[in-house]
């Protein structure tokens, strides 16, 4: 970026006399009711005190390995598509704060929920416009949901997200700026479901479902990018297939910073396609790009050259470096052998195992020291995380304490041969099932096995092809296993597949709904309450209690995960909160360049 700094200076000098007119143009395009984002200010909801108001102008460049399959946000179901289309379409009625995952206002300045929890009324901002300058009103919201999202002939996955008891919501226009959704029953996560970008009715009115399913494809993006219209912070400026995508700022975007400067700050950003991670790294190293999602192998070079090159490196320290999902160790309560099943069911056994997992060694050896402890099922990045879990989960390596816990449940070295035995005198041994080609899980299993050996338990690591691993896991043909189950990074109700007794991934206790433990029944109840509750605080209280039960009973043991690693040019501002919740495309409207 050093060469571009000179260009920025020249551009700045040449356009100095035009600056006031540029600012005026930005201000004149704001709606009557803009959204003021509290950058640099204290806010429990936004948590953006460390993001600072900036100066308009500048550009950013970075590389990616995959380009979108379409520029139609509703049709794209892959991350590579959403990364591009969401900056064009923008947030919907509500938005998700990339700093902490909280729900914040979007196109709707406010909303209300009926006492029975079934009606949601949204009030749009006055004066909203699409990127082509045409008004955005309740008609566009109704059109987006009724004619597109709810239309069974439109090929979108967003429809299934909005189904509640297999029913879609009803939507009604109350006036030009007000819409109301009615859902079949109270459903706490509903608000997060209406973050879908709004489509311009004036563009798609009269278009058939079949035509919409072909709309805004790669050919349109290449030939007529101006035809792709949204309400996001950027608009498509240029697309060259398999080469580059260029975005320019949306002059009608509805957000400002506290000083009244219209967002986004950047005039443009460019994304170009590369073959692999190695080329991404070389482009950043050679000053051809401004940011990099770093790999573990990149870190030694980046850290040793960061001062000389003027890079800012996120090394995983602080909350921004935390994992969202990580592997966990689970024990099969229905494994063969009565005595083995009995100890697997005992929370003190599982707590003892947790105490002999050398997490520091695991982080150093598996993640080259760039790893972080995951204490439970809800990441510390999530607003639903209960910080008490960190105190309750036994995460410090302590073999002596583990031995004491095991002795309390009748497991000890009865003949002083260095191995722990059941009361029957049989040595305790079991296997840990891992899918063969997963380097992280294989090495983690070896470290866990070493820790168990330290206290006299034999744990054989069994590496199996993924197909065999999966069938044994689902069929209950294992004793212990290391697994990862992906869930929504913020919304805790998605964990019900794992932690409720009817969940298909309740791996430690299959068919638990026929004979649940008392605490499993309580977790079932808490998830039901969390689904029905309205409002963040009410919902969080139920998930807080769930996490406390988890920490006490430890049905599975979460393992450390890889740190979030990121590098940026030192001229970029407001990149310090990049995390697995959000990177450049999520923060693009706030990023600015210090000239």
If you search the block for the tokens 């043991």, which residue do you land on?
A: 557
**CA dihedral over 391, 395, 401, 402, signed as positive or negative:** positive
451: buried, middle or exposed (CB in 10 Å: 19+, 13-18, 0-12)? buried
pLDDT exceeding 70 applies to what percent of the chain?
Answer: 95
DSSP calls for 260-322: -PBSP--SEEEEEE-SSHHHHHHHHHTTS-SEEE--GGGHHHHHHHHHHHTEEEE-S-SGGG-
99-134 confidence digits (pLDDT tens): 999 999 999 999 999 999 999 999 999 999 999 999
**pLDDT score of 331 more than 90:** yes
Q: Which of 582, 550, 551 is nearest to 564 (CA)?
A: 582
What is the rounded (10 degree) CA torsion for 349, 352, 354, 358? Answer: -140
Overall average pLDDT of the 292-300 stretch? 95
Q: What is the pLDDT of residues 351-372, one digit of tens each?
A: 999 999 999 999 999 999 999 9
Q: What's the pLDDT band for 488 if we cut at 50, 70, 90?
A: confident
- Tokens 């298909």 locate to 504
Reply yes or no on whether the pLDDT at 319 is more than 90.
no
Confidence check: pLDDT of 558 > 80: yes
CA angle 36, 39, 44 (to 5 degrees): 90
Mean pLDDT of the 272-295 span: 96
pLDDT tens-digit map of 4-40: 443 433 333 343 333 333 443 444 589 999 999 999 9
CA distance 333 to 339: 11
How does pLDDT run across 216-253, given as a tens digit for each residue?
A: 999 999 999 999 999 999 999 999 999 999 999 999 99
pLDDT at 327 over 80: yes
Cis peptide before 53 (omega within 30 of 0): no
How confident is the model over 429-459, as pLDDT tens digits?
999 999 998 999 999 999 999 999 999 999 9
Give pLDDT tens digits for 137-186: 999 999 999 999 999 999 999 999 999 999 999 999 999 999 999 999 99
Question: How many CA atoms within 13 Å lie on the side-chain side of 10?
Answer: 5
Instruction: Compute the distance between CA of residue 453 and CA of residue 325 in angstroms, rounded to an integer.
Output: 28
pTM of the model: 0.91
Q: How far apart, in whole angstroms, are the C-alpha atoms of residue 233 and residue 86?
A: 9
Q: Residue 479 has which token pair?
A: 């004793």
The burial class, CB within 10 Å (0-12 / 13-18 / 19+), for 360 is middle
**383: nearest Cα among 98, 41, 38:** 98
What is the overall mean pLDDT for the chain? 93
Tell me the two tokens of residue 390.
């960190």
For the chain, the farthest-separated pair of C-alpha atoms sits apart, in whole angstroms, at 89
More confident residue, 5 or 534: 534
- Helix, strand, or coil (residue 259): coil
Return the CA Rg of the chain.
Answer: 27
Convert the pLDDT of each residue in 178-222 to its tens digit. Answer: 999 999 999 999 999 999 999 999 999 999 999 999 999 999 999
Cα of 48 vs its chain's centroid, Å: 18
Q: How far apart are CA 102 and CA 491, in angstroms?
A: 10
Angle at the Cα of 307 from the Cα atoms of 305 and 313, rounded to 5 degrees? 75
pLDDT average, residue stretch 568-572: 96
pLDDT of residue 28: 53
Lowest mean pLDDT among 23-27, 77-81, 305-309: 23-27
Strand partners, 121: 112, 180
Rounded-to-integer distance, Cα 52 and Cα 41, Å: 8
Give the dihedral of Cα atoms 232, 236, 241, 243; nearest 10 deg. -90
Per the listing, tokens 């919740």 go with 581
Per-residue confidence (pLDDT) for residue 168, from 0 to 100: 97
């Amino acid at each position: 970026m050093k060469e571009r700094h000179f260009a920025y200076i020249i551009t700045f000098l040449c356009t100095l006399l035009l600056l006031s007119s540029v600012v005026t143009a930005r201000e004149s395009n704001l709606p009557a009711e803009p959204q003021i984002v509290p950058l640099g200010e204290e806010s429990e909801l936004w948590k953006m005190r460390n993001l600072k108001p900036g100066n308009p102008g500048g550009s950013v460049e970075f590389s990616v390995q995959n380009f979108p399959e379409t520029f139609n946000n509703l049709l794209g179901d892959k991350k590579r598509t959403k990364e591009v289309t969401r900056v064009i379409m923008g947030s919907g009625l509500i938005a998700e704060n990339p700093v902490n995952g909280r729900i914040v206002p979007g196109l709707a300045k406010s909303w209300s929920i009926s006492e029975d929890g079934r009606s949601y009324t949204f009030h749009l901002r006055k004066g909203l416009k699409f990127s082509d300058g045409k008004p955005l009103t309740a008609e566009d919201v109704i059109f987006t949901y009724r004619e597109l999202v709810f239309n069974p002939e439109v090929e979108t996955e967003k429809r299934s997200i909005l189904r509640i008891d297999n029913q879609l919501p009803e939507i009604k226009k109350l006036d030009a700026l007000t819409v109301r959704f009615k859902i079949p029953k109270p459903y706490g996560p509903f608000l997060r479901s209406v973050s879908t970008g709004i489509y311009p009715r004036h563009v798609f009115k009269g278009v058939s479902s079949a035509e919409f399913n072909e709309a805004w494809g790669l050919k349109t993006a290449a030939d007529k990018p101006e035809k792709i219209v949204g309400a996001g912070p950027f608009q498509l400026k240029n697309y060259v297939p398999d080469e580059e995508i260029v975005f320019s700022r949306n002059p009608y975007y509805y957000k400002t910073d506290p000083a009244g400067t219209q967002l986004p700050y950047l005039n443009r950003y460019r994304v170009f396609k590369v073959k692999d991670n190695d080329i991404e790294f070389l482009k950043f190293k050679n000053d051809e790009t401004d940011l990099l999602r770093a790999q573990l192998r990149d870190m030694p070079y980046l850290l040793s050259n960061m001062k000389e090159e003027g890079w800012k490196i996120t090394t995983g320290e602080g909350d921004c470096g935390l994992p969202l999902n990580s592997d966990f160790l689970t024990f099969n309560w229905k494994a063969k052998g009565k005595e083995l099943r009995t100890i697997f069911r005992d929370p003190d056994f599982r707590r003892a195992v947790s105490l002999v997992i050398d997490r520091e060694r695991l982080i150093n050896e598996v993640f080259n020291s760039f790893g972080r402890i995951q204490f439970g099922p809800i990441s510390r990045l999530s607003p639903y995380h209960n910080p008490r879990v960190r105190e309750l989960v036994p995460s410090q390596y302590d073999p002596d304490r583990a031995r004491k816990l095991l002795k309390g449940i009748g497991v000890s070295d009865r003949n002083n041969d260095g191995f722990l035995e059941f009361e029957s005198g049989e040595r305790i041994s079991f296997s840990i099932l891992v899918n063969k080609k997963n380097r992280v899980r294989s090495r983690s299993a070896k470290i866990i096995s070493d820790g168990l050996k330290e206290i006299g338990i034999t744990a054989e690591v069994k590496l199996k092809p993924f197909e065999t691993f999966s069938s044994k896991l689902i069929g209950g043909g294992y004793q212990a296993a290391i697994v990862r189950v992906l869930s929504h990074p913020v919304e805790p109700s998605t964990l019900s597949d794992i932690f409720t007794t009817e969940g298909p991934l309740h791996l430690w206790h299959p068919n638990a709904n026929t004979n649940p433990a008392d605490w499993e029944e309580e977790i079932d109840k808490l998830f039901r309450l969390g689904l029905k509750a309205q409002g963040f605080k009410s919902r969080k209280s139920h998930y807080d209690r769930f996490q406390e039960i988890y920490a006490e009973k430890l049905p599975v043991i979460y393992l450390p995960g890889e740190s979030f690693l990121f590098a940026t040019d030192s001229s970029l501002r407001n990149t310090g909160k990049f995390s697995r919740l959000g990177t450049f495309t999520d923060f693009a409207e706030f990023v600015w360049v210090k000239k």
